[in-house]
Amino acid sequence: MAKINFGGVEEEVVTREEFSLDKAREVLKDEVIAVLGYGVQGPAQSLNMKDNGFDVIIGQSSDYKRDWDRAIKDGWKPGKNLFSVEEAAQKGTIIQYLISDAGQMAMWPNIKPCLNEGDALYFSHGFSIAYKDQTGVIPPDNIDVILVAPKGSGTSVRRNYLQGSGINSSYAVFRDFTGRARERTLAIGIAIGSGYLFPTTFQNEVYSDLTGERGVLMGALAGVMEAQYQVLRKNGHSPSEAFNETVEELTQSLIRLVDENGMDWMYANCSATAQRGALDWRHNFRKAVLPVFKKLYKSVASGKETKIVLAANSAPDYQEKLGAELKEMRESEMWRAGAAVRSLRPENRKK
């Protein structure tokens, strides 16, 4: 493991130089990796592993026609490497449980009997194990229970792999029955194309993940954008101007500078006026949102957020309600303006 200094705190990470793809192939040479669920993470992780030469099969219910058809379109063949969820779980030695959190809870009574002694039950989210009192997902004692959690969507996991890079992932071992749990975990992490792997626990992974998704990564980002857009529009700015100053400049310019060398690099490559204003106002925004983030983390740690997710996602009309909420966002003036702005990008005008 490499010791890296993260902002003054030394951490140990695992890179592809230390744990090579060849080593991963050796560790997993006798394993059948069963990927259960072909929704968000399943396609990316399974295709990356398949391309890397691992023995992968898919477990997906044909009742979910969209996901079943997608698996077939991606080259998986029914009866050969595409099976029902239960049959794939029985055939696999490493079972990647990648269906939704609510789905994991609902399917667990069917999956648990399929696990054999010495198997590894793999997660990409600590949800079901960390909140086992709510989900009822309690693995048997005679298997390994492991986690590799890519820090990006399935789309990004696949895209970065095809581009020759990788999404960083956290990893954890909840139970080491075989004595091989850690090397199995790291091998899978390399197999799915991780950039590097850093250690966590199931609980820390889910606490940080739920906070991040509701916070900076999605919830806070959308909310802050909507607030700024509204203020600009109410003060007479056009939709195009409001959207460009709120979203387009961030996604097409500034965030790329942050990605290259950090926030200070982005500040250093902006105008002196922008630098001064941003440096001053960031303190106001931090003070304003800090109480919200404290409240959010408390809600995550208490299990309140989990209860909300499980109740909502288990409802029979969840997809209908989700569609309505996303439609409301899509048809808001800000995101209709966004669609118009994107259509004017040179690469889109050529189509």
Supply the pLDDT for residue 276: 94
Give the neighbor-by-neighbor strand order of the sheet with 94-97. 2-6, 9-15, 196-199, 169-175, 144-150, 120-123, 94-97, 33-36, 56-59, 82-83
Residue-range domains of the chain with CATH? 2-201 (3.40.50.720), 213-349 (1.10.1040.10)
Establish whether 125 is a catalytic residue. yes
Q: Average of pLDDT values for 269-284?
A: 94
Of 81, 90, 119, 125, the catalytic one is 125
Q: Is 351's pLDDT higher than 70?
A: no
Contacts of residues 73-79 at CB distance under 8 Å and 24 or more positions apart, as own/partner, are 74/43, 74/47, 76/38, 76/46
Of residues 195 and 138, more confidence is placed in 138
Q: Average of pLDDT values for 59-79?
A: 95
Assign 4 a pLDDT band (cuts: 50, 70, 90). Answer: confident
Q: Average of pLDDT values for 33-37?
A: 97
Burial class (CB in 10 A: 0-12, 13-18, 19+), 122: buried
Supply the pLDDT for residue 350: 66
Q: Is 168's pLDDT higher than 70?
A: yes
Strand boundaries in 93-133, DSSP class E = 94-97, 120-123
Q: Is 179's pLDDT higher than 60?
A: yes
pLDDT in tens, 88-98: 999 999 999 99
Q: Average of pLDDT values for 166-179?
A: 95
Q: Is 5's pLDDT higher than 90?
A: no
Q: Mean pLDDT score of the chain, rounded to an integer?
A: 94
Q: Average of pLDDT values for 312-339?
A: 94
* Total-model pTM: 0.90
How far, in whole angstroms, is CA 239 from its chain's centroid?
32
Q: Is 11's pLDDT higher than 80?
A: yes
